[in-house]
Amino acid sequence: MKILLYPLVFCSILFFSCDNSSGKRDTSYLTESVGAINGLQVVISNTLWNDSVGEKIREYFAAPADGLPQIEPIFSISQIQPENFSDFARTYRTFLYVDLGKEDTVKVKKDSYAKPQIGAFITATSEDKLIELIEANQENIINTFKSFEIKERQRRTNISLLKVDSLKERFGISLNIPSAYRVASACDDFYWIRKDLKSNGSTNLLIYEVPLNVIGQDSSIIGDIIKVRDTIGSGYLPVEDDDLFVTEEAFAPYLFTTEVGGKFAYETKGTWEVKDNFMAGPFLNYAIKDEESGRYLIIEGFTHAPSMEKRDLQFELESIIKSTKFE
């Protein structure tokens, strides 16, 4: 199996010029922002949008999301011209403003026209310079947007939460889980929490732990993580006809490093399948290194939603996992 290992990319905004350096702004007068999770409004002239600048924006900001069985963009983009960017149009929660001007600048601002809101402003003296700035800053801007969307997804989740006190008793953690979920199965060493979708399917969370020495280092990391998840999935998840819930071999998983609950973690994105049963979907697995307890805490989210787009379903699971707190 081909292994793709990606280093951790921390969200950095050191190169951005922000508008709150003089202290806290009064944002009480701002209206509430609008927009779907992972939606992005691009403010740019039709001339630039239909030329190489627009192509470069789409290349990065509409790139395929990692770990999904079908192609879905990381952001759902809508374009609007600068002269129409006023009144209600300015209340979109996440936007990218690209235009020609008298200087070359990249700025990220919070709550410019509504709240909560984040906008990236890229201005340059030529089209070539715009492309250069987009290429140089897209990774940090995308990470900033994603972090902002995670917080928004978590804010919406916190409106109505599922209470699972036993997670603290068993694993020493708390998770902010929407009340639409339920505990499907729980035993001393394994929890399965799921939400049934209105259409056929479900989103799912698995929680368990393994000793630190089960996951090795360097080239063995992803192989060890897959071996663990395949063993747990095949052993604990009920599947018809004794088939096995395992990692799809045809799609190489993506491996990143990150932090969850203030602890180092391996993040693996890939596709699961039920052997010989034509069932498959995306999974998002976090192996959180808890050295104090001598374990890796494993929290995985996976979706079974035939004929549905899965990006936002997986994104909700990611936001839940990233709410983990060690008690």
Task: Specify the higher pLDDT residue, 217 or 158.
Answer: 158
Q: In angstroms, rounded to a whole number, what is the distance separating the alpha carbons of residues 158 and 315?
A: 15
Q: In angstroms, rounded to a whole number, what is the distance separating the alpha carbons of residues 285 and 301?
A: 6
Token pair for residue 190?
């394994």
Fold observed for domain 161-326: Protein Transport Mog1p; Chain A (3.40.1000)
Q: Could you state, in order of their start, the residue ranges of all structural domains in the chain?
A: 4-157, 161-326
Q: Crossing angle for the helix pair 127-157 and 311-321, nearest 10 degrees?
A: 60
What is the number of other CB atoms lying within 10 angstroms of the CB of residue 77? 16
Token pair for residue 60?
């990065």
Question: In the prediction, which pLDDT does 23 show?
Answer: 57
Task: Specify the higher pLDDT residue, 217 or 105.
Answer: 105
Q: In angstroms, rounded to a whole number, what is the distance separating the alpha carbons of residues 120 and 237?
A: 44
Dihedral pair phi/psi, residue 139, rounded to 5°: -65, -45
Interacting residues of 64 by C-beta distance below 8 A, sequence separation 6+: 71, 72, 73, 74
Q: In angstroms, rounded to a whole number, what is the distance separating the alpha carbons of residues 43 and 157?
A: 29
Exposure string for 196-209, b = 16+ CB within 10 A, e = fewer: eeeeebbbbbbbbb
Nearest to residue 229, comparing CAs of 290, 277, 284?
Answer: 284
For residue 129, give the 3-state DSSP assignment: helix
Q: Average model confidence (pLDDT) for the chain?
A: 91
Burial of 186 (0-12, 13-18, 19+ CB in 10 A): middle
Q: pLDDT of 29-72, one tens digit each?
A: 899 999 999 999 999 999 999 999 999 999 999 999 999 999 99
What is the secondary structure of 141-152 as a DSSP string?
HHHHHHHHHHHH
For residue 81, give the 3-state DSSP assignment: coil
Q: In angstroms, rounded to a whole number, what is the distance separating the alpha carbons of residues 167 and 207?
A: 9
Average pLDDT over every residue of 91-105: 97
Name the pTM for this structure.
0.90
Q: In angstroms, rounded to a whole number, what is the distance separating the alpha carbons of residues 301 and 295?
A: 19
Q: What percent of the chain has pLDDT over 90?
A: 80
Q: What is the CATH number of domain 4-157?
A: 3.30.379
Q: pLDDT of 274-326, one tens digit each?
A: 877 778 999 999 999 999 999 999 999 999 999 899 999 999 999 999 999 99
- Radius of gyration (C-alpha) of the chain in whole angstroms: 21
Q: What percent of the chain has pLDDT over 70?
A: 91
Q: In angstroms, rounded to a whole number, what is the distance separating the alpha carbons of residues 306 and 67?
A: 16
Q: In angstroms, rounded to a whole number, what is the distance separating the alpha carbons of residues 201 and 199?
A: 6
Task: Specify the higher pLDDT residue, 243 or 231.
Answer: 231
Q: In angstroms, rounded to a whole number, what is the distance separating the alpha carbons of residues 66 and 284?
A: 10
Question: In the prediction, which pLDDT does 11 show?
Answer: 33
What secondary structure letter does DSSP report for 17?
A: P
Question: In the prediction, which pLDDT does 277 show?
Answer: 73
Cβ atoms of 71 and 97 within 8 Å: the answer is: no
Exposure string for 147-180, b = 16+ CB within 10 A, e = fewer: ebbbebbeeebeeeebebeebeebbbbbbbbbee
